Amino acid sequence: MILPKKINSRRKGSEYERKIAKAFGKIYGELRRTPLSGGMDWKGDIQSVDGKMPFHIECKKQEKLNIWKALKQAEDDCPDDKTPIVVFARNRSKDYVVIEMDEFLDIVKENC
């Protein structure tokens, strides 16, 4: 019996970050994955090339996600001029976004 190859978790995370950057990039222009994904002085997983994207994005592709820990990471690393969000999914699931409710309602108001 041949077992399917396990995907390296770092590679899986990088692929997920690229997918999310592409999705947000359709709205906000060119986005890039952060070098070393949150390493060095860069915070967050995805950065806007021109700085116009209003979100600080933390991406998580995990089967057992501690959403509170992920949200704290996004909030702690978020610059004052951005809104922290967590984009997450499990294998073979849809993508979801967590955002503070007041921020979400502001976005809804702006688009009504």
Per-residue DSSP letters for 89-111?
E-TTS--EEE--HHHHHHHHHHT
Q: Is 59 part of any domain?
A: yes
**CATH number, position 50:** 3.40.1350.10
Give me the pLDDT at residue 38, please.
45
Q: Which domain holds residue 106?
A: 9-110
Give me the pLDDT at residue 87, please.
97
| Count of domains forming the chain | 1
Give me the pLDDT at residue 42, please.
56
Around Cβ 50, how many Cβ atoms within 10 Å?
9
Residue (of 9, 67, 56, 8) closest to 28 by Cα position: 56
CA-CA-CA-CA torsion for 57, 81, 24, 68, nearest 10 degrees?
30
Beta-carbon contacts of 86 under 8 Å, excluding residues fewer than 6 positions away, are 57, 58, 59, 60, 67, 70, 71, 74, 97, 98
Please report, in tens digits, the pLDDT of each residue of the chain (112 residues total). Answer: 565 555 688 888 889 999 999 999 999 998 888 765 444 455 678 888 888 899 999 999 999 999 999 999 999 999 999 999 999 999 999 999 999 999 999 999 998 8
